Amino acid sequence: MSAPQDRTDDGGVPVPVTPAGATGGAPAELPPSSPAGRGMFGDQGTGDVSGYGGLVRPQRSIEAATRPYGGYFDEVADALEEAYPAFGEAIEKVVVDRGELTLHIRPERIAEVCQVMRDDLSLRFELLSSVSGVDYLGADARRLHVVYQLTSMTYRRQVRLEAAVSAEEPHLPSVTSVYPTADWQEREAYDMFGVIFDGHPGLTRILMPDDWEGHPQRKDYPLGGVPVEYKGAEIPPPDRRRSYQ
């Protein structure tokens, strides 16, 4: 068995390779799971040993919602429109799905929008519950999405903000000056997805080791397949162990 040509042997540290499913259009077509193009335990495909890794799913995008959105969503949208003059330019899309409101924000505007969401008296989203990244590889040209879950304790409301950046230009402003709690959560999004938050006080890796290469939760990053050093000896990843080949 020989390795594909587009791989350089770099001691087992995974390098981004064009995933097998990147051109198919379906968002979750899975990439080859190791730089060897061969997954763990000798699997040739995706590192997925369930046998269903090759399933092709019909692509279906979520439609943008039209007014009225229902519930408190209209009030939130109205209040934001009133308090934030650049509303029309900053909001790309409004989605209402499964009883949750998502405002798609232009990435360069995200910190301003958060400031208004926190400070306006009729919005009052005091708590930033969560920041997370999602990689929509193949489904969106700006594939890296950053998702902010805002909670208003005063009005007991929840709203999701979503900003999309491309992997080539993964920059957007940090919201740490508005919500200090975003500090570690943005570091995690940087660590896992390579999104760069401009203005963050110390954007370093948080879960992976400092010298790690690549961003593990990107969809073109394989599962497993790195050598492990233990007591001075290097243990190769399972797919490079002789017993599995």
Partner 1 sequence: MSASNYATERETAEGKVFTVTGGDWDVVLSGTDPINDERIVVNMGPQHPSTHGVLRLVLELEGETVRELRSVVGYLHTGIEKNMEFRNWVQGSAFVTRMDYLAPLFNETAYSLAVEKLLGIEEQITERATVIRVLMMELNRISSHLVWVATTAMELGAINMMLYGFREREYVLEIFELITGLRMNHAYVRPGGVAQDVPDEAIAKIRDFLKLMPKKLAEYEKMLSGQPIWLERTQNVGVLDATGCLAMGVTGPVLRSAGLAWDLRKTMPYCGYETYEFDVPTHTDGDVWGRYLVRLAEIRESLKLVEQAVDRLRPGPVMVADRKIAWPAQLAIGVDGMGNSLEHVAKIMGQSMESLIHHFKLVTEGFRVPPGQVYVGIEAPRGELGVHAVSDGGTRPYRVHYREPSFVNLQALPAMAEGGLIADVIAGGASLDPVMGGCDR
Which is closer to partner 1, CB of 88 or CB of 209? 209
| Closest separation in Å from C-beta 208 to partner 1 | 7
Q: At what angle do helices 110-119 and 73-83 cross, to 10 degrees?
A: 110
Please write down the HEC assignment for all residues of 106-159. Answer: CHHHHHHHHHHHHHCCCCCCCEEEEEEEEECCCCCCCCEEEEEEEEECCCCEEE
When binding is defined by CB under 8 A, the residue of 42, 214, 216, 236 that contacts partner 1 is 216
Question: With CB under 8 A as the contact rule, which of the stretches 56-64, 67-75, 77-85, 236-244 interacts with partner 1?
Answer: 56-64
When binding is defined by CB under 8 A, the residue of 93, 217, 238, 244 that contacts partner 1 is 217
Which pair of structure tokens corresponds to residue 23? 């051109």
Question: With CB under 8 A as the contact rule, which of the stretches 50-58, 68-76, 79-87, 231-239 interacts with partner 1?
Answer: 50-58
Taking CB under 8 A as the rule, does residue 100 contact partner 1? yes
Taking CB under 8 A as the rule, does residue 147 contact partner 1? yes
Contact by Cβ (8 Å): 163, 187: no
187-212 core/surface letters (b: 16 or more CB in 10 A; e: else): bbbbbbbbbbbeebeebeebeeeeee
Residues in contact with 59: Cβ distance below 8 Å, sequence separation at least 6, in sequence order? 25, 26, 27, 139
Taking CB under 8 A as the rule, does residue 135 contact partner 1? yes
* Binding stretches for partner 1 (CB under 8 A): 26-28, 30, 33, 46-48, 50-52, 55, 57-58, 60, 62, 97-98, 100, 102, 126-130, 132-135, 139, 147, 149, 151, 153, 156, 158, 160, 179-181, 183-185, 188, 192, 205-209, 216-217, 223
